[in-house]
Amino acid sequence: MLLRSLTIALVLCSITAHAEAPSPSSVQRSLLIRIDNVTRDALQKTGIFAFDDYDYRKFTTLVRDTALLVVTPAERALLAERGLASTLVMEDTSFVTLVRRAMYGPGMKLQEPYHAYPQIVRRGKELEARFPSLVEVIEIGRTSQKGQPIFAFVLSRDVRTRRDVPTVMIDGCQHSNELMGAEISLAAAEMLVTRYGSDPDVTSWVDGLRIVIVPVVNVDGHDVVTSGLDPRWRKNTRDTDGNAILNHPDGIDINRNYDFNWAGGGTGEPTSGRYRGPFPFSENEPRAIADLARAERFLLSISYHSQGEVIYYPWNWGGRPAPDDAVIAPLARALAGSIRTMKGDTSYRAEPGAGLVGQSYPWLYGTLGTFDLIVETGLGAAFFPPHEVQGIIDANMHGIRTMLRRATGPGIAVHVTDAASGRAIEATVWIPKIETEEVRRRTTHPATGTLYRFLTPGPHQVIISRPGYDTRVLTGITPPDSGWKRIEVTLTRTRH
């Protein structure tokens, strides 16, 4: 009995010693615990948990009011002391094993309704085979590490013919662990193709637009997550430490690698989850999106991420809004207002994202004039338990519908042709009162000769130019209340 008391005393001593150690976080985290009926505030007040998506040594999710945490025994004791009782889910010396159990469930594998990339591509190709005039599956590039094809599903009436219509993009999984992007993209493709001809809105969008869907940009990373290897994988799988093994902290954050304000975003530290890479566009995946965007000149696009139930739009650049803020901000708010939160009591919110960062939305807006919105789907985890997936998809289909409804204007469609040949040409369309030096000059599409551009009521001065041609200055340009005002411009070659 005496011996037993002594043992208990020793154990207590050792717990105390742990709790008082200068850096308890350096102790191996070996427990996966669940805390029910807890709030984010209550968890944060403990001081133990910062919700940090970028630190691979920490793990916390809080979906609705259930938290999953990987902790040390001392941290668990401290939580209990603060009134947060927990249930032990799993004990293991391997951190990634605990995270796999947390994210994949007892099967330790990704479950339905989530899709692996080959399933997503197969579904796209099935749609293409069934509806060849509406769907074309195209390869837009190859991944950086494994050279796998990255596919886009293009949806439009007479899809194989380049028509002069506005183009929009939907992309997902630039961050591979944010799986909802792939699922929402795939659901959007299914919805638009299968309801064509029966749903009047869908029919008018597929008839009047070219819709390009890239369900998974970060294909190599998506494989890591969907194969059950590591649910945390966010970056691509570039072997940055050169050891020929896929291990943390390998990889480059695709969504910090774009060449617009690259140096202002992410970090140059390779171990970070936001490593921007050695130089702008060092990675194939963002280059594939950029090449696609140059070829298509998107009017509007949505990039799906998780989490936060928030929409980021371009931009807040040192306190300055984007030159087109008067159009972009209301558009982002309309989209946000149409997407219900998981709790269902309110909708997503919209706020300007950083302009000084090498992400896709400042690149698309600053370089090509595309209004790109980041939609952070869901709340509390990078991806969600299987039973939550359909609800998040359904909520975001309303967002897709809002986006496509908005892709009909109002604005101007400037169509430029060569006066002698009558052929469409790429020309610069500049609105000096709006477009500051922070954004590159917008140009018409090289094949169709048209630039579709959202515009406030006006009147505006529009300057159309191309080297080797005379310059045209149009004044008093006012877009209609709805739809596109088509402006035909012919440029004449200057004599030398």
Which residues of this chain interact with Zn ion, rule CB under 5 A? 175, 178, 305
Q: Give me the least distance between CB of 305 and Zn ion, in Å please.
A: 3
- Between the CA of residue 165 and those of 204, 376, 428, what are the distances in Å? 12, 28, 18
Instruction: Indicate the Cα dihedral angle 157, 159, 163, 165, nearest 10°.
Output: 60
**108: number of Cβ within 10 Å:** 13
Per the structure block, which two tokens stand in for 187?
A: 């659901």
Find all residues with CB under 8 Å of 494, minimum gap 6, and list them.
468, 469, 470
Of 54 and 131, which has the nearer Cβ to Zn ion? 54
Q: Give me the least distance between CB of 178 and Zn ion, in Å please.
A: 5
Q: Find out whether 431 and 321 touch, Cβ atoms under 8 Å.
A: no
Of 136 and 171, which has the nearer Cβ to Zn ion? 171
Q: Give me the least distance between CB of 391 and Zn ion, in Å please.
A: 20
Q: Give me the least distance between CB of 481 and Zn ion, in Å please.
A: 36
Q: Give me the least distance between CB of 173 and Zn ion, in Å please.
A: 9
Task: Determine the distance from the C-alpha atom of residue 183 to the mean position of all C-alpha atoms in its chain, rounded to a whole number.
Answer: 12
Residue showing the smallest CB distance to Zn ion in the complex: 305
Of 238 and 406, which has the nearer Cβ to Zn ion? 238
Q: Find out whether 424 and 447 touch, Cβ atoms under 8 Å.
A: yes
Amino acid identity, position 133: S
Of 171 and 178, which has the nearer Cβ to Zn ion? 178
- Between the CA of residue 280 and those of 258, 284, 356, 363, what are the distances in Å? 6, 11, 14, 11
Of 58 and 305, which has the nearer Cβ to Zn ion? 305
Q: Give me the least distance between CB of 496 and Zn ion, in Å please.
A: 51
Of 305 and 445, which has the nearer Cβ to Zn ion? 305
**Residue 452 β-bridge partners:** 413
Of 273 and 369, which has the nearer Cβ to Zn ion? 273
- Between the CA of residue 281 and those of 111, 263, 360, what are the distances in Å? 34, 12, 11
DSSP 366: I
Instruction: Kindly give the pairing relationship between strand 167-172 and strand 135-142.
Output: unpaired
Q: Give me the least distance between CB of 375 and Zn ion, in Å please.
A: 10
Of 76 and 175, which has the nearer Cβ to Zn ion? 175
Of 115 and 175, which has the nearer Cβ to Zn ion? 175
Q: Give me the least distance between CB of 175 and Zn ion, in Å please.
A: 4
Per the structure block, which two tokens stand in for 180?
A: 């909802």
Q: Give me the least distance between CB of 266 and Zn ion, in Å please.
A: 12
Q: Give me the least distance between CB of 8 and Zn ion, in Å please.
A: 48
Q: Find out whether 52 and 58 touch, Cβ atoms under 8 Å.
A: yes
Of 178 and 220, which has the nearer Cβ to Zn ion? 178
Find all residues with CB under 8 Å of 463, minimum gap 6, and list them.
428, 429, 430, 431, 432, 471, 472, 473, 474
Q: What are phi and psi of 130, to 5 degrees?
A: -80, -35
